[in-house]
């Protein structure tokens, strides 16, 4: 019975930590652009490089991630 109580406390603690995770800059930009109704294009080339291009009326965002996990983010505001 004590193991069940300990297990439930551990489960609650785990859920608390994972739900409070800070969003990355990429995640924040994707959410913001989706809310603005952006056109979103995703591509992956043969080398495993990932490219994400999002374009709205006021902003263009390009995110590139290579196969090693290195990423570059470029934001252009059309003011």
The number of beta carbons lying within 10 Å of the beta carbon of residue 16 is 9
Do residues 48 and 31 touch, judged by C-beta distance below 8 A?
no
Return d(Cα 18, Cα 11) in angstroms, integer: 11
Return d(Cα 50, Cα 56) in angstroms, integer: 20
Q: What does each of the 79 residues of the chain score in pLDDT, given as a tens digit?
A: 556 666 667 666 665 555 556 788 888 999 999 999 999 999 998 888 999 999 999 999 999 998 888 899 999 987 5
Question: Radius of gyration (Cα) for the chain, nearest Å?
Answer: 19
């Amino acid at each position: 019975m004590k193991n069940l109580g300990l297990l439930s406390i551990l489960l609650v603690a785990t859920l608390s930590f994972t739900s409070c995770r800070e969003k990355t800059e990429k995640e924040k930009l994707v959410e913001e652009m989706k809310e603005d109704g952006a056109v979103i294009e995703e591509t992956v080339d043969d080398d495993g490089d990932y490219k994400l291009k999002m374009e709205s009326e006021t902003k263009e965002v390009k995110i590139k991630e290579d196969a090693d996990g290195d990423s570059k983010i470029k934001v252009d505001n059309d003011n």
